[in-house]
Amino acid sequence: MDRTLTRLPTYSAFLLFAARRARPWRLGLIPLIAPWAVAYAFGLISRKRMKEVMHGHMLGHGLPRATAERLAGLFADRIFASGLYDEGGARIRADHEAGRRVILATAAPSLYIDRLAAHLSVDDVVATGGTWLDDRLTSRIAGENCYGAAKQRMIADHLARRGITRGDAHIRFYSDHASDLPSFEWADEPVAVNPSPKLRRIAAERGWPILDWAAGGDTGANRAITTGRR
């Protein structure tokens, strides 16, 4: 979703948004994240672990469900109001009108993605899950972080649970980043949207369509898959 449908990344933005409103004193702990960021940069910890550390420092390990859901809703409202490329929403609407099923697949947390997807009238969401303990949101990610190869596996599992056979579906996949190469290669129609330099090179080499929404280009839908079945 980030930088494909949205103009800016959302995970860090959500943590800052929620911390300011629920636990502002935790903003003072942000410098403590720096050593973990260095460890991540050197490949010593996973992306999943890095996200858990960021959440733990900024929101703690037991945010009440009512608070978490309220903040997620407010954040999703804000993103929908001013943080999206118009072209993304237009492509989602066009795909719906064409009778296609739209699935939003993203590494962002389902906590606020579910609410944003409802604004966009997306059919399904495949996102990174959170862990709840005694009705409180912990910093732990449930299952896999929906990123890279894990995203492709999670999409495939989702389709299987929906009873959609891969051979019976025509899949169009949109993304801005080369980390989604497993999903691009798995799809029938890969489309690079606002591509990173690496993805732009790959797309040009392979003859994939390139859409530059940031420059007012053609329309498409975020890191989303559209299948020919509802």
CATH number for the domain including 219? Answer: 3.40.50.1000
Number of domains in the chain: 1
- Is position 206 within any domain? yes
- Is position 3 within any domain? no
What integer pLDDT is reported at residue 220 of this predicted model?
Answer: 37
Q: Return the CA Rg of the chain.
A: 18
- Is position 23 within any domain? yes
- Is position 24 within any domain? yes
- Is position 86 within any domain? yes
User: 173 and 184 in contact (C-beta within 8 Å)?
Assistant: yes
Output the CA angle 155-161-91, nearest 5 degrees: 45
What integer pLDDT is reported at residue 223 of this predicted model?
Answer: 41
What integer pLDDT is reported at residue 51 of this predicted model?
Answer: 98
What are the tokens at 219? Answer: 């329309």
- Is position 112 within any domain? yes
What integer pLDDT is reported at residue 216 of this predicted model?
Answer: 63
What integer pLDDT is reported at residue 214 of this predicted model?
Answer: 80
pLDDT by residue for the chain (230 residues), tens only, comes to: 999 999 999 999 999 999 999 999 999 999 999 999 999 999 999 999 999 999 999 999 999 999 999 999 999 999 999 999 999 999 999 999 999 999 999 999 999 999 999 999 899 999 999 999 999 999 999 999 999 999 999 999 999 999 999 999 999 999 999 999 999 999 999 999 999 999 999 999 999 999 999 876 453 333 444 444 44
- Is position 6 within any domain? no
User: Burial of 136 by CB count in 10 Å (0-12 exposed, 13-18 middle, 19+ buried)?
Assistant: middle
What integer pLDDT is reported at residue 42 of this predicted model?
Answer: 98
Q: Residue 91: give the domain boundaries.
A: 11-227
- Is position 116 within any domain? yes
